[in-house]
Amino acid sequence: MRKHILMILIVAIISMLLIACSSDSSSSGGNDDAGKKKNGEKTTIQFWHALGGKNGELIDEMLKRFNDSQDEIEVVGSFQGGYDEAVTKLQQSISADTSPDIAMIERAYVEMFADSEVLEDLTPYFESSDLNVDDFTEGLMGHSYFNDQLLSLPFNRSTPILHVNKSMLDENGLEVPTTWEELKEVANALVIKEGDEYKRYGFSMPYDTWYPIAMITQSGGTFFNEDNTSVGFFDNGVGEEVFSFLKDVQSTGAMYYPPAQDSGNIVNQMFMSENIGIMYQSTGTIGTLMENVEFDYVTTFLPKNDEYAAPTGGGNIAMLAGSENKEAAWKFIEWMLKEPEGLLQFVIDSGYLPFTNTMVESQEMKELWVKEPNRQVAYEQLEHAVDTNKDVEWPVIMHEFFSAIEAIMYNDEEIKPTLKKFKEETERILNK
């Protein structure tokens, strides 16, 4: 048995209280045996996801459209909490043999489940369908394959992008930055300081691993080295260059680095309130910003250093290998991908990225991009999408990287020794 099956068992034992609290059908998706058997003449499919709020409502609406479109399959959607909580519950359900038929998995966790051999290879299903894997956007397929098996597909996907208050820049005679050096100059020019207090900063970004990883790849580095035995940004000096730039712009007020808690909302509010003029943030915020800002708001690619690059984010969808209803589960997945009422409508309504050529070339998407060109820019940046943090151990190493970010950005610890310590810990985890 592989090491991550053991990990799943351990997590399940430790987390029995959590699974007990989520065992009723209203919160866990009704994952008892009856939920996977015939319900009258319909086959019931359990679909677990990690989208709450408005996006969760859009999921429910899509499921209703599918359920109303035919009388053979009933898909029951169940919100399992945020990405991390949903992963924990899925681990528990696999251990207890009560897993759903289909699950949304944050793309960085796919390899962990793939390594445990609990995800269904979708290759045979595509071979018997008129769907084509080549139709998917290449930049969003980095977390779909494992050991030459197609184990997940893009679902609710996003990428970081630069959000710009064009009105503020115009008022100060500034151009939208395309490089780090231009960003530094523009951001410093936007700073307003009265005494010791900053009334306005230049730009900001949420507390996240996303943005340093983007900057590492923009500088010719990689998060992991080629054989995934160490990091790919320490020995070449790339990590030191990235964090030296960030500390430099932080020191002048050109960049405001927010507290870790609720950092995304803090940065969004600062942008909408014009306390910053530029923001690194997810494409998923475009809709909210367009509804709330009163200035000329535009998006553009993340500024380059040596090259343009952007990691991807969001969730993929996977079929569980233990499902007893794989044929019906595939029919649902196929419907979502083929029918305009499926994921195309969900993408349009939610603001997530389209992920197939068919979606991009649809009349609905073309009309949306004419109306909201900021969203087209987000898709075009996928030409430079790259994910270099792919490893089964990423979920563990991610927390170590957060610790390094905190030490540098909050505690002003020396950059090189901090990154060296992180490198050594990463090597220990990867090579144990």
Please say which residue of 327, 361, 395 terminates a domain: 361
CA 35 – CA 25 distance, rounded (Å): 9
Instruction: Tell me: pLDDT of 31 over 50.
Output: no
Query: What is residue 27's predicted lDDT score, i.e. its pLDDT?
Result: 35
Based on the domain organization, do 286 and 187 belong to the same domain? yes
User: Within this chain, do residues 307 and 318 fall inside the same structural domain, yes or no?
Assistant: no
126: Cβ contacts below 8 Å, ≥ 6 apart:
132, 133, 150
The mean predicted confidence, pLDDT, of the chain is 91
| Whether residues 7 and 96 fall in one domain | yes
Residue 34 amino acid letter: A
Tokens encoding 397: 């190493």
Per-residue pLDDT band at 2 (split at 50, 70, 90): very low
Query: Closest Cα partner for 223 from 234, 273, 261?
Result: 234
How far apart are alpha carbons 153 and 145 in whole angstroms? 9
Q: Are residues 336 and 307 in the same domain?
A: no
Task: Based on the fold, state whether residues 17 and 56 are members of the same structural domain.
Answer: yes
pLDDT in tens, 297-348: 999 999 999 999 999 999 999 999 999 999 999 999 999 999 999 999 999 9
Residue 284: band (very low, low, confident or very high) from pLDDT cuts 50, 70, 90: confident
Answer whether residue 199 shows pLDDT above 70. yes
261 and 228 within one domain: yes
Distance between CA atoms of residues 322 and 126, nearest Å: 19
Residue with tokens 């030490």, as numbered in its chain: 407
Give Cβ neighbours of residue 70 (< 8 Å, ≥ 6 apart): none
Q: How far apart are the first and last CA of the chain?
A: 17
Residue 370 belongs to some domain of the structure? no
Q: Return the percentage of the chain with pLDDT > 70, whole number.
A: 91
Of 220, 390, 401, the C-alpha closest to 305 is 220
Domain that holds residue 174: 160-311+387-431
Reading the block at residue 20, the tokens are: 């007990």
If asked whether residues 305 and 412 sit together in one domain, one would say yes
The answer to whether residue 7 scores a pLDDT higher than 70 is: no
Both tokens of residue 160?
């970081």
Q: Can you give the pTM of this predicted structure?
A: 0.86
**427: its two tokens:** 């090597």
Query: Residue 296: pLDDT band by 50, 70, 90 thresholds?
Result: very high
Average pLDDT over residues 191-204: 96
CA dist list (Å): 125 to 61, 150, 285, 370: 26, 10, 34, 35
- Same domain, yes or no: 20 and 39: yes
Residue 321 placed within a domain: yes
Q: pLDDT tens digits, residue range 236-282?
A: 999 999 999 999 999 999 999 999 999 999 999 999 999 999 999 99
pLDDT at 252 (0 to 100): 97
The whole-number pLDDT of residue 287 equals 86
Answer with the one of 344, 361, 378 that is the final residue of a domain: 361
- For the segment 69-116, what is each residue's pLDDT rounded down to a tens digit? 999 999 999 999 999 999 999 999 999 999 999 999 999 999 999 999
| Per-residue confidence (pLDDT) for residue 34, from 0 to 100 | 37
What total of structural domains would you count in the chain? Answer: 2
Q: Do 220 and 350 fall into the same domain?
A: no
Higher pLDDT, 270 or 378: 270
Among residues 29, 31, 47, 25, the alpha carbon closest in space to that of 328 is found at 47
Strand 222-224 to strand 231-232: parallel, antiparallel, or no bridges (unpaired)?
A: antiparallel
Task: Please give the pLDDT value at position 40.
Answer: 59
- Give the model confidence (pLDDT) of 400-431 as tens digits: 999 999 999 999 999 999 999 999 999 999 99
CATH number of the domain encompassing residue 274: 3.40.190.10
327 and 215 assigned to the same domain: no
* Residue 373 covered by a domain: no
